[in-house]
């Protein structure tokens, strides 16, 4: 409890880790606030059903709070009248500050999104969940929507204070990175998050290119140095193959195709 896990991918898609953590925490009886900025609810629900979890049922019983970023963006850009009539401001209302369709000024920070997370995970008197989890997929989308790196890092900082420190919950965040990228803002956010993470799961594509039996490698970095014990971080590297309903991990060079 109280841990911040960073999912990082380079030259490949690490979204299979998001599906793993989502189904894992729901099966474990935790309450999950899922800020889904990359895909629709139906996409996550179809994958979750393959993993034996129903997101629809989890929403109905109050275990899953789902923010569908794609739908919220469209509502903000093209459904102004409906949003104005709503009592609650949209968690992504910062988009209005960047929108050419908006005729009014709006704050470009992520305060409304933070308030949404805090309200979603603050336990009520009758709650009996085994843990609280904030899951974000994918944090870099906020930069693409016009947010500054400072605003994104501030948002994560305040979420860590509330979710990890006060509520003793966990945070899992996915970010895409590319060392050769010219997107300096994204790399600034990625590098900053790496310094503050308790656990980093870094998924990388194979340097040699595509392989049918080995889809990539994952570097597991346990940040022992954060505990100020003088020890170096523990690093483990495995290769993996994604299958229909699970993922197979093995030591480098020891895939079934090689052996």
Would you state the pLDDT for residue 236?
95
**Domain 4-78+88-99+106-251 CATH class label:** alpha beta
- Contact by Cβ (8 Å): 117, 35: yes
Would you state the pLDDT for residue 3?
93
What is the pLDDT averaged over residues 82-110? 60
What is the pLDDT averaged over residues 140-166? 93
- Go through the chain and tell me how many residues it has: 259
Would you state the pLDDT for residue 63?
94
What's the whole-number average pLDDT of the chain? Answer: 87
pTM: 0.88
Would you state the pLDDT for residue 258?
61
Give the distance from CA 244 to its chain's centroid.
22
Residue 183 CA to residue 39 CA, distance in Å, equals 22
- Contact by Cβ (8 Å): 193, 5: no
Helix (H, G, I), strand (E, B) or coil at 21: helix
Which of 152-156, 160-164, 185-189, 227-231 comes out lowest in average pLDDT? 227-231
Would you state the pLDDT for residue 257?
63
- Contact by Cβ (8 Å): 121, 167: yes
């Amino acid at each position: 409890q109280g841990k911040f896990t960073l999912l990082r991918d380079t030259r490949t898609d690490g979204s299979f880790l998001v599906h793993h953590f989502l189904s894992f925490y729901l099966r474990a009886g935790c309450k999950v606030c899922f800020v889904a900025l990359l895909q629709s609810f139906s996409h996550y629900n179809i994958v979750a059903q393959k993993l034996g979890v129903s997101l629809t049922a989890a929403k109905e019983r109050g275990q899953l709070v789902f923010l569908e970023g794609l739908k919220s963006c469209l509502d903000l850009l093209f459904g102004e009248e409906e949003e104005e009539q709503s009592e609650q401001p949209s968690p992504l209302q910062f988009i209005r500050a960047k929108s050419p369709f908006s005729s009014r000024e709006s704050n470009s920070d992520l305060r409304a999104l933070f308030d949404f997370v805090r309200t979603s995970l603050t336990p009520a008197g009758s709650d009996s969940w085994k843990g609280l989890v904030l899951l974000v997929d994918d944090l870099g989308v906020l930069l693409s929507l016009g947010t500054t790196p400072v605003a994104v890092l501030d948002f994560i900082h305040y979420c860590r204070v509330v979710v990890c420190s006060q509520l003793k919950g966990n945070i899992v965040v996915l970010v895409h990175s590319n060392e050769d990228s010219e997107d300096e803002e994204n790399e600034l956010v990625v590098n900053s998050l790496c310094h503050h993470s308790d656990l980093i799961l870094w998924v990388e594509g194979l340097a040699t290119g595509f392989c049918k039996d080995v889809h990539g490698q994952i570097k597991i970095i346990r940040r022992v140095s954060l505990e100020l014990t003088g020890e170096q971080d523990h690093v483990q590297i495995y290769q993996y193959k994604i299958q229909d309903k699970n993922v197979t991990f093995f030591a480098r060079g020891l895939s079934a195709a090689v052996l």
